[in-house]
Amino acid sequence: MALPRFLVVEARFYEEISDHLFNGAATVLMNAGVGFERIAVPGALEIPAVIGIANQGANPKFDGFVALGCVIRGETSHYETVCSESARGLQVLAVSFGLAIGNGILTCETWEQAMVRARPDDQNKGGGAVEACLAVFEARRRFGLVTP
């Protein structure tokens, strides 16, 4: 059986936070023996679209997807829209197409909260998103939905 291959889709709006998220994710992916590619998008709202695009075609090349990014509350209602719509987009893809998706899009009140959650030596939410994706991938395998 071929090793699983995941796509990490990373919003780069907050680059330092994104770097921490990716570093944590990459470590867990490598330790699990999962091959991966990384693609950057401007913000969290673009992540579900790119995952949907990557899953198109008769033979999708990825077994799982890891969404990484951060949304920090500002002075407008844009925060609620971005948080809700990015999460909804990921959930629609996961449920409608049976995709293994790990959601590592942080939704925080402050920069400091985001950094604590992003750092690999702290809460390591990037690594946690990979672990979630791996769990769903294993469920797909258990139910015979992963091709050898």
Q: Which of 16, 42, 60, 78 is flagged as catalytic?
A: 78
The rounded Cα 104 to chain-centroid distance in angstroms is 5
* Gap between the Cα atoms of 9 and 4, Å rounded: 16
Active site annotation includes 78: yes
Strand-by-strand arrangement of the 5-11 sheet? 35-41, 5-11, 64-72, 101-108
Query: How many other C-beta atoms lie within 10 A of the C-beta of residue 141?
Result: 16
Q: What 8-state DSSP symbol labels residue 55?
A: T
Q: Which residues contact 32 (CB under 8 A, 6 or more apart)?
A: 130, 134
Specify the DSSP class assigned to residue 118.
Answer: H
DSSP 122: T
Q: Which residues are catalytic?
A: 78
